[in-house]
Amino acid sequence: LGGACLLGVGIWVIVDPTGFREIVAANPLLFTGAYIMLAMGAMLFLLGFLGCCGAIRENKCLLLFFFMFILLIFLAELSAAILAFIFRENLTREFFTKELKKHYLRNNDTDVFSSTWNSVMITFACCGVNGPEDFEAIPHLPYTSLENAIPEACCQRELQSREGMIVNKEACLAGIERFQNRQGCYTVILNSFETYVYLAGALAIGVLAIELFAMIFAMCLFRGIQ
């Protein structure tokens, strides 16, 4: 069950059509993490099946194999959780603001970083990390008007997707606030994912607990087989 859950989450992250897929694809760390999650989910699912076979047949070799691999996965997951807790400070508002001002190229969709940020802002109806003021210090492309302080991705749309029509593009780029998304993406995404973060944390603790009990019961059965 734990393996099936990880497998499902990994598949959702990779194929999710709401824009999260583009963020994952643009970030090598997230991209690798999604596939690691897929691989671990498939491995856990397979090992669970082997553990069941070993228990039903009372096969000591299968039970020992099951125990050793579950132990390795348990230690890897525990290490990943500790590292995520230690390096959580890197995901601060200041870090994202600095990266945005350093690498963002406005409406240049040939640049992966800019395209990803544009997708995020369109999907979540937000603008910049803190708000439209983040773009004041970002240079304009040579062929764009200097009056455009914000990119098109910050303009309000009838439908929150790249295919959605901008409500009033000229007014938005001219600086009329009621046609702009004024809220920063950091707050919007944090609020959107807050519930899911606690759910993911609870799920991770549940998976680790299941793995721990699986190892204990496997060893008990291993020792009990004559």
65-115 pLDDT, tens digit per residue, is 888 888 888 888 888 778 777 766 566 778 788 888 888 887 776 777 888
Q: Is residue 54 within 8 Å of 69, Cβ to Cβ?
A: no
Q: What is the pLDDT of residues 118-136, one digit of tens each?
A: 888 888 888 988 888 888 7
Over range 18-37, report the average pLDDT.
60
Average pLDDT rounded to a whole number, residues 27-37: 66
Helix (H, G, I), strand (E, B) or coil at 166: strand
Is residue 51 within 8 Å of residue 66, measured between CB atoms? yes
Count CA atoms closer than 13 A to 193's CA, side-chain side. 11
What count of other Cβ atoms lies within 10 Å of the Cβ of residue 10? 20
Q: What is the distance of C-alpha 81 from the center of its chain?
A: 15
pLDDT confidence of residue 76: 84
Average pLDDT, the chain: 78
Q: Which two tokens stand for residue 41?
A: 């989910």
C-alpha separations of 102 from 64, 128, 193 in Å:
52, 13, 26
Token pair 């708000």 is at which residue?
131
pLDDT at 1: 78
**Amino acid symbol at 171:** A
Count CB atoms within 10 A of the CB of residue 41.
Answer: 21
Q: What is the pLDDT of residue 29?
A: 54
